Each structure stands twice: as structure tokens, then as C-alpha cells.
Amino acid sequence: MGRRATGRRAAATAIAGWRDVYEAWFPPGLEDADLAVQRAAVNRWFRGRADAVPASLAPMVAAARAGRLDHWTVTPVGQLLLILLADPVARILLAGRPEAFAGEGVALRLAEDGLRRGHYEALVRPWEKIFFLMPLAEAEGPRHPVRLERAAALAEQLVAEVPGPQQPLYWFALGQIRAYQDQIARFSRFPQRNAVLGRPSTRAEFDHLHSVDSGRRRWPDRQVPTAQPPQWRLSGC
């Protein structure tokens, strides 16, 4: 009984701490919003707009990366928000600096741990799941092709689960993962990060970065059937 009470107290503390983070990343009312509102949210998330998250989250980014918020992992949503703070939120707040990518290892550890513990499956909203699995695709390092395959498989399953009108939004995320697979197969890393991280580019990477196909992500045509994925042209990571 004492152990259960301790668990409930930990969960209550986590919920009190992460509410602001959740609402900053996922707009309130998103679940009941029409497709246009959901599409605008996807644009904000994946295009890394500077106003996508408030600067007031910066101290929480540092805390999440340092492990000081690991008690949030008591709940699936809490673990998801640690992933967000460690990587995508940090990339926006620290854009243009090497530190922007310093938390991807933390995010990957949290994502793989959450998948093992059933936290991914416990999430009920598709937009929560897509961000839970993204570190598998975005973290450079060992076993990246294997992780990308797993991320793609999970994203494909997610596309099949969402209502038909919403499927293009999740094809977009899956298309991003597939584009990452192409880049990692060709370069074993994301060339778009080279300048920020101070890495010299190879000739192949230089050509890629200056090619038309390395332009901004593009939405598919609105009339693309949901039975098959549209073609994607993404900028990478």
C-alpha cells in the first residue's frame, strides 16, 4: 500500500510539473480541432519555427538533459515530454548552436526505454506517438539504419490507425523518416548539421546541400489519395 501511495504522489508531482510543457507543444483543443488547425500544428512542429515554444522552457530543457526530471518517467506522457524537452524543444530554443543537438542521446535513451516499458503503446493520441518515436530516426550514431527501420514501421502502423482525413499529416512524418533513411544510407550522418557542428562536408555532402532536392520540406498535394504515401522532398534534420 505504501508503495502504491508513493507511486501516486510521484505521478501527481509529475503532472503538476509537465502541464505547461504539454500545452506549449500541443495546442489545447487539438484533439477536437479541424484538419486545418492540425495541419498548422504540424507545420509549426516540423519546420522548427522560433515561436513554436516559449523561451521560458529553457531551464526545463537543461533539467531534462541533466536527468533532474527523470521522475516524470512514471507516466507515459511525462516520458514523452522529457523527450520533447531533450531534443525538439531544445533544437528550436538553441537553433544555430551545437548545443541544439546535444540532447539527442538523452531523447533516444528515453524513447527506447519507453518503448520497452510500454509507454509508447499506452499513449492514446497519434501526435504524441509520432514525437515519442522520432528520436529513433533523428539521433545520429550506432545502429541508426536499424533504428530508422523501426521508426518507419511504427509510423506506418500509426498512419493505418488514424482516421482517413488525418492520414496526410502522418504521411508527412513518415515521409520525413524515409528521407532520413536515404540520407543516412548515403552519408551515415545528416549533412545539414555539418555547419552548426563545425564538421567539414565531403564533396558528396556539399553537392547534396546545394542541390534542388535538399530544399525545404514540401507538403503533398491536397488531393493525394490516403491509400499511398505522397512523394517527399525534405531538408533532412
Q: Which of 40-44, 168-172, 214-218 has the lowest mean pLDDT?
A: 214-218
Q: For 106-165, how does the pLDDT look when each residue is reduced to its tens digit (9 = 90+)?
A: 999 999 999 999 999 999 999 999 999 999 999 999 999 999 999 999 999 999 998 877
Overall fold of domain 2-214: 1.25.40
**Residue 17's pLDDT is what?**
66
Query: What distance in Å separates the CA atoms of residue 222 and residue 225, rounded to the nearest whole number?
Result: 9
Cell numbers linked to 100:
541544439
pTM of the entire structure? 0.82
Q: Which amino acid is at 193?
A: R
Query: What distance in Å separates the CA atoms of residue 58 and residue 155, rounded to the nearest whole number?
Result: 29
- Domain map (residue ranges) of the chain: 2-214
Cell numbers linked to 87:
531534443
Taking CA atoms, 223 is separated from 62, 90, 144, 158, 201, in Å, by: 42, 34, 33, 21, 38
Is residue 130 within 8 Å of 158, Cβ to Cβ? Answer: yes
**DSSP characters over the chain:** -HHHHHHHHHHHHHHHHHHHHHHHHS-TTGGG--HHHHHHHHHHHHTT-TTSS-GGGHHHHHHHHTTTTGGGGGSHHHHHHHHHIIIIIHHHHTTTSGGGGTTHHHHHHHHHHHHHHTHHHH--SHHHHHHHHHHHHH--STTHHHHHHHHHHHHHHHHHHS-GGGHHHHHHHHHHHHHHHHHHHHHSS-GGGHHHHTPPPPHHHHHHHTSGGGS---PPPTT--TTS---------
Q: Which of 14-23, 109-118, 145-154, 198-207 has the lowest mean pLDDT?
A: 14-23
Higher pLDDT, 237 or 43: 43
**Residue 223's pLDDT is what?**
33
**Residue 237's pLDDT is what?**
64
Is residue 81 within 8 Å of 72, Cβ to Cβ? Answer: yes
Distance of CA 68 to the CA centre of its chain: 21
Q: How many other CB atoms are there within 10 angstroms of residue 119's CB atom?
A: 21
**Residue 28's pLDDT is what?**
78
**Residue 37's pLDDT is what?**
78
Query: What distance in Å separates the CA atoms of residue 154 and residue 76, rounded to the nearest whole number?
Result: 17
Cell numbers linked to 94:
538553441
